[in-house]
């Protein structure tokens, strides 16, 4: 709990070397801690609810490799199964029985999914599902929401501009306007804005894609009636509804947000948890739509390593652990203690804050709230969050290095972990 022993000499050395070898020193941008400042930590190993860095510091980890580690890092059953599977080879490039096993588990669990295609990342799943939406409807436009992330494919990298008619301007150099000018955006939780887009673009919109619970703009829940309203609007306009459950799938309930809220989309994307820590994504949905995918149908999409036996094994083992009775109740209980505890500590130390959780997914804003959309989230005190993040890190708590990311717990997190986290939060918040 004391900061004076906190040293990151080896982390700093390794990260300095990494910056000469790889852009920004990382393989994915948010890991570089840019938005909170300070040097990132280089991990050496992970186990259960903990991560150890190369200097030997231990952290209670609330990122869990951004979601997949829901059973706890390096769960012995998952690791053993991966090692056994590896003995038979790591990739076949040919049909493999394990694909059937994971496909059946996904189809049984997720209400909208009647058929599924495995890919290698959430990005690939979202990119492919968009091609499928367009192929099936014969329409080019799509609606996404400000602050929602659907991977880094060109068509989704659209500046979250305000106003209903915001026509996609690319968010990144290298993305031509021609690939994003069919991307329409609306504020999350705003049905009127979606309705206006449908009215302005009659017969042109292939569908609506969203994170049913937003985790990439901080943690934002759908208002009552929002998901049902989208279901109705898409039906009325002959458009498809797509839930991007790469984060929420098997996270907020075994059957994802669609089970939790009782709204069934036409198509769903998955990733993260279904790979059990190995690279996987998937998209699936109504059989009549999925049968358009090659080679059953004409919509082309392929992958050298897709459905490989290692990733399938890690996913199968992880879902087996998750479908044990009581797992989601346990995730909910521990995460509620954490989320409510953080708000309580903020209140006692005089900081405006809001936040919440569903099952093992949570969020916390330095913002009086309520937060209904990205505009609201952006009103948070980012400088305060940066200082909070650093203070927690120095006390052995590893939180997402951005105010605009959700947090995750796992089945390995204990009440003692939560107690220690809240004690650290009390110290840090009192000093802010």
297, 371 in Cβ contact below 8 A? no
**395 scored as a contact of ligand PLP (CB under 6 A):** no
CB closer to ligand PLP, 124 vs 332: 124
Among 360, 364, 356, which residue's Cα sits nearest to residue 412?
A: 360
For residue 369, the minimal CB distance to ligand PLP (Å) is 22
**211 scored as a contact of ligand PLP (CB under 6 A):** yes
| The one segment of 52-60, 119-127, 284-292, 367-375 that binds ligand PLP by CB under 6 A | 119-127
Q: Which residues contact 165 (CB under 8 A, 6 or more apart)?
A: 196, 197, 200
- Exactly one of 11, 57, 121, 359 binds ligand PLP (CB under 6 A); that residue is 121
CB closer to ligand PLP, 209 vs 411: 209
Dihedral over Cα of 333, 334, 335, 338: its sign: positive
CA distance 380 to 58: 29
**246 scored as a contact of ligand PLP (CB under 6 A):** yes
**Residues that contact ligand PLP, how many (by CB under 6 A):** 15
Is residue 154 flagged as an active site residue?
A: no
Buried b (16+ CB within 10 A) or exposed e, 365-393: bbbebebbbbbbbbebbeebbbbbbbbbb
* Residue 22, burial from CB neighbour count under 10 angstroms (0-12, 13-18, 19+): exposed
**126 scored as a contact of ligand PLP (CB under 6 A):** yes
**243 scored as a contact of ligand PLP (CB under 6 A):** no
| The one segment of 230-238, 243-251, 252-260, 283-291 that binds ligand PLP by CB under 6 A | 243-251
Among 271, 337, 312, which residue's Cα sits nearest to residue 123?
A: 271
Q: How far is CA 377 from CA 74, 296, 325, in A?
A: 33, 43, 35
Is residue 244 flagged as an active site residue?
A: yes
Is residue 44 flagged as an active site residue?
A: no
Under rule CB under 6 A, which residues in 214-233 are in contact with ligand PLP? 215-216
**150 scored as a contact of ligand PLP (CB under 6 A):** yes
Interaction site with ligand PLP (CB under 6 A): 121-123, 126, 149-151, 211, 215-216, 244, 246-247, 271, 281
| Residues with catalytic function | 149, 244, 272
């Amino acid at each position: 709990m004391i900061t004076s022993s906190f040293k990151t000499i080896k982390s700093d050395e390794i990260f300095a070397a990494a910056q000469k070898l790889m852009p920004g020193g990382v393989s994915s941008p948010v890991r570089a801690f840019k938005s909170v400042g300070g040097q990132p930590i280089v991990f050496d190993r992970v186990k259960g609810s903990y991560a150890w860095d190369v200097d030997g510091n231990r952290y209670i980890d609330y990122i869990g490799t951004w979601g997949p580690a829901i059973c706890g890092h390096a769960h012995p059953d998952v690791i053993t199964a991966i090692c056994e599977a590896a003995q038979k080879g790591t990739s076949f490039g040919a049909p493999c029985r394990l694909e059937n096993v994971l496909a059946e588990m996904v189809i049984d669990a997720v209400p909208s999914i009647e058929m599924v295609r495995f890919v290698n990342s959430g990005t690939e799943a979202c990119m492919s599902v968009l091609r499928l939406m367009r192929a099936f409807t014969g329409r080019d436009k799509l609606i996404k929401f400000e602050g929602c992330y659907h991977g880094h494919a060109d068509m989704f990298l659209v500046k979250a501009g305000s106003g209903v008619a915001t026509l996609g301007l690319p968010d990144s150099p290298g993305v031509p306007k021609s690939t994003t000018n069919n991307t329409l955006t609306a504020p999350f939780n705003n049905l009127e804005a979606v309705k206006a887009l449908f009215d302005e673009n009659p017969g042109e919109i292939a569908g609506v894609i969203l994170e049913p619970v937003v985790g990439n703009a901080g943690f934002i829940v759908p208002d009552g009636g929002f998901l049902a309203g989208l279901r109705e609007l898409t039906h009325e306009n002959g458009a498809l509804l797509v839930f991007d459950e790469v984060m929420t799938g098997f996270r907020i309930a075994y059957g994802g947000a669609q089970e939790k809220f009782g709204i069934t989309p036409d198509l769903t994307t998955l990733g993260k948890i279904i790979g059990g820590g190995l690279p996987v994504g998937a998209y699936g949905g109504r059989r009549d739509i999925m049968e358009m995918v090659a080679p059953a149908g004409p919509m082309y999409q392929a992958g050298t390593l897709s459905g490989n036996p290692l990733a399938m094994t890690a996913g199968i083992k992880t879902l087996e652990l998750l479908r044990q009775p009581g797992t989601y109740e346990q995730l909910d209980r521990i995460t509620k203690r954490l989320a409510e505890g953080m708000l309580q500590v903020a209140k006692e130390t005089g900081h405006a804050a809001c936040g919440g959780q569903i099952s093992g997914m949570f969020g916390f804003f330095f913002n009086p709230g309520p937060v209904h959309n990205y505009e609201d989230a952006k009103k948070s005190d980012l400088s305060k969050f940066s200082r909070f993040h650093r203070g927690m890190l120095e006390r052995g708590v590893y939180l997402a290095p951005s105010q605009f990311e959700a947090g995750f717990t796992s089945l390995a997190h204990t009440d003692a972990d939560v107690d220690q986290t809240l004690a650290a939060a009390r110290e840090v918040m009192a000093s802010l």
